[in-house]
Structure 1
Amino acid sequence: MKQVICVKWGTAYGPEYVNRLYGMLRRHITGEFRLVCLTDNAEGLRPEVDAYDLPELGCEWPKKSLGKWRKLVMWSADMGEKTGLEGPVLFVDLDSVIVDNIDGYFSHGNPEDVILARNWAKPMQRLGQTSVFRFPIGKYPHIIENFRANPQAVADKHGFEQHWVTASVPGGIKFWPHLWTRHFRLHCLPAFPLRYFKPARLPAGARIVTFPGGPNPADVMLGRWNTQDPPHEKPWDHFRAAFAGGVKHRWRHLRSFVLPPPWVAQHWVE
């Protein structure tokens, strides 16, 4: 059986994100699969999702760090025992949009490999991006244990959880075939100012589109960059607002525009 795991904590993502992920998996996986959700609130999750309490980080949270360090609990030695997972498990971030069959994510490479999406924001460095990655459950507990031993030092050196994972896997990480996992801002969204006239495209060969660092697919469907922007804002209105009072980062505002792409609304549904 194919195994998938996700993590939901806090208030950023409601149960609909997990339920949509399950729906996308159901449409794009051949045969049986299991979705495990580690969460601090299982209310509203569809019954097919196996929800488990999200373990605590187990150490002091690093100061002045943007890393999603809570995701490291998946590397715990007892995670398989707690969830019934065994062997290779595919992690998928909740703000991902699955657009095609993903059977290859379960068979690519060796079952013992740790396979990540490439960090496309830093293409010249061999860094992984953990929006979509596969790992053998319980095999590398040193990743979380070494972090717990000195979390601030790890955060100061590596900055993000995914950089720490990249540096910690014995023998090095592997990458998915480059066309499979696409980055919304870097591979789909037209460059400024073309994004004012053309919606984001769905690249040929893409299987999963990720949204690290925003915008969120829920906002993209409404033609806005974040919840502070009005939905379906007209391009001229957004451009003009950059020169109104109260806008501190004018260039950032100008670039933060998106037209609603039909393919996001088509695929990101339960």
Structure 2
Amino acid sequence: MSEQIKQVICIKWGTRYGPEYVNRIYAMVERNITPPFRVICLTDDSEGIRQEVVCRGLPELGCPRPTNAPGKWPKTALWGHKLFDLTGVVLFIDLDVVITGSLDPFFSYGAPEDVILARNWVKPLERLGQTSIFRFEIGRHGYMLENFQQNPEGIAGKYQFEQRYVTNCIKGGIKFWPRGWVRHFRMDCLGPWPLRYLRPPKLPIGTRVVIFPGKPDPSDAIQGRWSDQVKAQGRIAHIKSCFSRGFKGSRFRYLKRFFMPAEWIKEHWRE
């Protein structure tokens, strides 16, 4: 399997992420992989995406999107029996990840038929997978899309998130990447909240990919802010604003959301 072309796939739909996110993915992959490889983007708008990226349309979900659950259910279309002209094993990567180490082991780990996900350590007792970066063989699990098409609202209502559906319903079960390969920015890099006032976020040794579920995004983390709707400011200013007149919301939550700029992201998250 390691002698075959390594295929990395991503999805860009809507307007949240521009073409620069796809271009960064390609550049990060190129710097951290042994050729031959190719990056494929499934998208409804390929304008601005660098020519080295293979672009295809968005795969059809084949049913209405569920309205009763927050998960990214369009991802379920990846599990169809066919995915355009693509075949074989692919490594899916979300657009908002930061690649910091070699991706080669993600293609050689386990067996080609394995479905391998990142571990969601936010819910350790549930043994839940995270689909920010996962590997699968195109067409092997077509029943996942078929079953979803038959009852999208029921499945979405039961599992809430597509990654929980994948974790629980892949025949033969899923596997996880070795611990330490994939790090969760909030859980593994920020550190305990009082420590965030004393030192910037750390990149743990041995990390290959940093994922950013929810907030902050990499663009926010570089500046030291929780989201693009929050002003990046120093620790003293952050504390003062928390106790200012007219403050609304949970002060404790607001205090926990302070962190210094993660300068190391600039080194990796670039073209």
Superposition TM-score tier, normalisation by shorter sequence: over 0.9
Pairing 1:191–2:192 present: yes
Q: Tell me what 1:137 maps to.
A: 138
Root-mean-square deviation (Å): 1.2
Q: Tell me what 2:241 maps to.
A: 241
Structure 1 contact 190–199 (Cα < 8 Å) conserved: no
Structure 2 contact 65–74 (Cα < 8 Å) conserved: no
Pairing 1:37–2:38 present: no
Matched residues, percent identical? 53
Structure 1 contact 196–235 (Cα < 8 Å) conserved: yes
| Deviations, residues 74-100 of structure 1 (Å, cap 9, x unaligned) | 111120xx1x32221000111111101
Structure 1 contact 6–91 (Cα < 8 Å) conserved: yes
1: distance between equivalents of 2:46 and 2:141? 27
Aligned-residue offset at 1:253: 1.7
| Deviations, residues 22-53 of structure 1 (Å, cap 9, x unaligned) | 00000000112111111111111011111111
2: distance between equivalents of 1:75 and 1:173? 14
2: distance between equivalents of 1:181 and 1:223? 21
Larger mean CA deviation between 33-42 and 104-113 belongs to 33-42
Q: Tell me what 1:108 maps to.
A: 109
1: distance between equivalents of 2:62 and 2:134? 23
Length-normalised TM-score, structure 2: 0.95
The one-letter amino acid of 1:86's match is T
The one-letter amino acid of 2:64's match is E
Q: Tell me what 1:263 maps to.
A: 264
Aligned-residue offset at 1:5: 0.4
Aligned-residue offset at 1:110: 0.2
Structure 1 contact 62–152 (Cα < 8 Å) conserved: yes
1: distance between equivalents of 2:46 and 2:243? 44
Structure 1 contact 190–198 (Cα < 8 Å) conserved: no
Q: How many residue pairs end up in the alignment?
A: 266
2: distance between equivalents of 1:60 and 1:256? 36
Aligned-residue offset at 1:246: 4.3
Structure 2 contact 223–262 (Cα < 8 Å) conserved: no
2: distance between equivalents of 1:57 and 1:247? 40
Aligned-residue offset at 1:243: 2.4
Instruction: List 4+ stretches of structure 1 deviating above 4 A.
Output: none
Q: Tell me what 1:26 maps to.
A: 30
Gaps of 5+ in 1: none
Q: Tell me what 1:228 maps to.
A: 229
Gaps of 5+ in 2: none
